[in-house]
A and B are shown apart, each in its own frame.
Chain A
């Protein structure tokens, strides 16, 4: 029931956008409301898990929402709700400025709802094959969304995205097939052999070499969608060219959904070959992403690309966390929530910046705090949060991560991580300072375009403060449950 509602709500919201002959604000309102309702449904699933049950429906638990799924469903629906609520007004203003036409605006709502629905399916499907189909579905749904504003750069970004994304997903399918093959060979033809619960349970009987090979394909394949280096090349282009609400949703939720897929398989592989192997591979890719982000962030001239590289950095941190044992996993999950809140906040605020200043370049943006005081303040909050400063949630998760690293016996690695974080801190801060302060260009009209539109972003700030100051007890229990799912 809750599970079904979770998936059907966004799909239902796509229908008005599909059938309406012309755009009407109610289309946007239904989409935002549907995501909000989905968020409530996700809360219900979380509550059910905290009470001890695992909601599921279908033969052999076809759809299943354990603690981990609940956390991710909350992230996906939360980010979607905020983005769509903010996006409603924002996109209407873009249309008024001539950047979008009526048909494309309607297409946005159809595709975005499909996007949300496929992400939710990916995190609640027990069948790893269906999970794969859903993740591929997100690629197809977002391909046109990135290129929504028909510019040369957007077209280039979407081409790279769909090509690299599809190839990555295809490689993930190779991994899935190999895992299935291993299962069928060693355990025999079983109904629901692709169900994660079945795989995790019977994994110790599988052939280690084939599992290791499968995991490599899974990590490289889903890692492409998650933005792990060196498969991340599509990410800066796609996330910077997409309209602000889409960038927010992609950075905030899509990347972690792909990482979730890797995490599910990690459990299977850990049960089969012991926790060391998957952990090492995750650390390797996480570190590579961190290094790459640190090196390239400072050279960015566009603020949206800067945010995109920051996503690579944070996904790298999450990936590292997943490879560092139970405490690291908890840190990664906490980080997921914090990053979703801060990154979506940043991207949505940057939408306002783009509208006011008319340029994506950092050099063109000056004196934001004077021109758009509220947006500027929100952007500052987001940036400070992304830099890992207290009192925001990412500080807590990063400290937890470093502690986990020391506990796991990798002090040098943590030293490297800290050094890289400092490097990123410095370059980011430099850009930020130049953007927020200073004298704004003469042709920029000061004043918020639509202050009320910033209201949903308050939710993000609240989440960040809550995570940073005192994590609410039920949330902590839920996160512990989710981490427990990932424990070998």
Chain B
């Protein structure tokens, strides 16, 4: 029991520690693919350290919500990192780590951030919030459906158990239900974490920013928390994608050896997925905003097909 709790804490620490590095890797690879030299991998850590020491400037119209939001967002993501199977499954908090809890914790963060974007009354913030809400509304059902599709096989929506079940019967990974769910979740990941072609994380132009618009009024340690939270969300989504669909390496027992293997496997999978995202971002152009619902409806359909396929193939 004690080891289990330690492992949970380890997962949270890992998320905290690795997230900026993952973002740094993606940015570095993108730069290289675009023919630039690129900042080193640990640049995001430097940025975080700088931001934590900077002065906070608040709008006079900002309320307590504006100041509380970064903590809520950061906290929710941190709790989620305790609940998802990053390096080991199943874990004690997994009982609470049901799909529904995870999805709604993430949604809580999105919701609070959207409110915070509206709070200071700036035009960009409101615009970003409304766009973000549109995308979130379209993406949430897909996440639920896709993981339901996976859960049908495992007989439970508990993420840990899904991972364990997939480990037990590897032939299923080739099945259409599995692959369709992966495709659906991948598209949703791009939408939720604000990557191309849904949102450009590197832009601050009015026409193109969504997530950045909501962060525009923040500075100093608040901004640091929000950027960190965004990086952690990205890492969690990537880790989920990796572990739900390619679960080999996840520790089923809590022995140090298994955990070390799991850690190595996680790093490898994250690097691979990160490289994939970098490649995709280099190739794709951002979609016009009114085309995003079209993309998300396709991902919804893929999730629906995944569920049907899973049900029929049972």
Direct contact of A and B (CB under 8 A): no
